């Protein structure tokens, strides 16, 4: 004789939003997240936004399961419900649940100082953008720098008289060349100014 099947509990959008906030607070202490229910749409969704901190993949690994299904963008754009998800209740019971949430939108932002702290070298293969990373260098040099971008080619000339520029520019040059970009470092003794030229920026 088979045991009676456990009924699937439904967790509302509002309750799922609370669970997402709690999970993020538990797994990423000290990181400030904005978790809001999306409005003005027939789709039940939650928007998560944060600055710096964990990667989008790390956040998704903790809360991405709290959706009811997904749209098949490769087919006829139909919505497919996922199987009920296991959930531990406040009483410690493991029960199958269906989260009444269609999607989660992840928006990770980057602060200027964080961009450069990533590794003190420009990385054009992933976010943040080159403009954001150069902006972080401007902050590091406390305004003692200039950036010129050639409109037609997109080539960039970064220059600074800051005492950290020589070391930073060499580090950036090695990283850029490893990524397949052209990079040159020069020094004008008369102006006491260092230059970093970046070519073929995507």
Residue 3: its pLDDT value, please?
43
Residue 1: its pLDDT value, please?
43
Residue 33: its pLDDT value, please?
96
Q: Is the pLDDT of residue 148 over 80?
A: yes
pLDDT band at 28 (very low <50, low <70, confident <90, very high): very high
Average pLDDT over residues 31-60: 85
* CA dihedral angle for residue 43, residue 104, residue 135, residue 166, rounded to 10 degrees: -150
51-55, 74-78, 92-96, 134-138 — most confident range: 51-55
pLDDT band at 103 (very low <50, low <70, confident <90, very high): confident
Q: Is the pLDDT of residue 47 over 70?
A: yes
- Cβ(156)–Cβ(197) under 8 Å? yes
Residue 196: its pLDDT value, please?
93
CA distances from 16 to 26, 85, 87 (A): 15, 13, 11
CA distance 149 to 157: 6
pLDDT band at 139 (very low <50, low <70, confident <90, very high): confident
Q: Is the pLDDT of residue 2 over 50?
A: no
């Amino acid at each position: 004789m088979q045991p009676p099947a456990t009924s699937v509990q439904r967790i509302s959008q509002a309750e799922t939003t609370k669970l997402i906030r709690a999970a993020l607070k538990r797994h990423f202490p000290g990181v400030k997240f904005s978790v809001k229910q999306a409005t003005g749409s027939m789709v039940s969704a939650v928007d998560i936004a944060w600055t710096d901190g964990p990667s989008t993949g790390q956040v998704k690994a903790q809360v991405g399961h709290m959706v009811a299904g997904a749209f098949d963008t490769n087919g006829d754009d139909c919505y497919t419900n996922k199987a009920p998800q296991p959930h531990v209740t406040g009483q410690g019971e493991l029960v199958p649940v269906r989260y009444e949430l269609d999607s989660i939108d992840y928006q990770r932002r980057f602060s200027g100082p964080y961009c450069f702290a990533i590794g003190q070298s420009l990385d054009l293969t992933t976010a943040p953008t080159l403009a954001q990373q150069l902006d972080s260098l401007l902050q590091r040099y406390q305004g003692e720098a200039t950036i010129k971008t050639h409109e037609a080619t997109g080539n960039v000339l970064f220059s600074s008289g800051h005492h950290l520029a020589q070391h930073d520019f060499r580090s950036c040059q090695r990283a850029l060349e490893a990524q397949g970009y052209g990079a040159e470092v020069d020094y004008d003794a008369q102006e006491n100014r260092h230059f970093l030229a970046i070519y073929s920026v995507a």
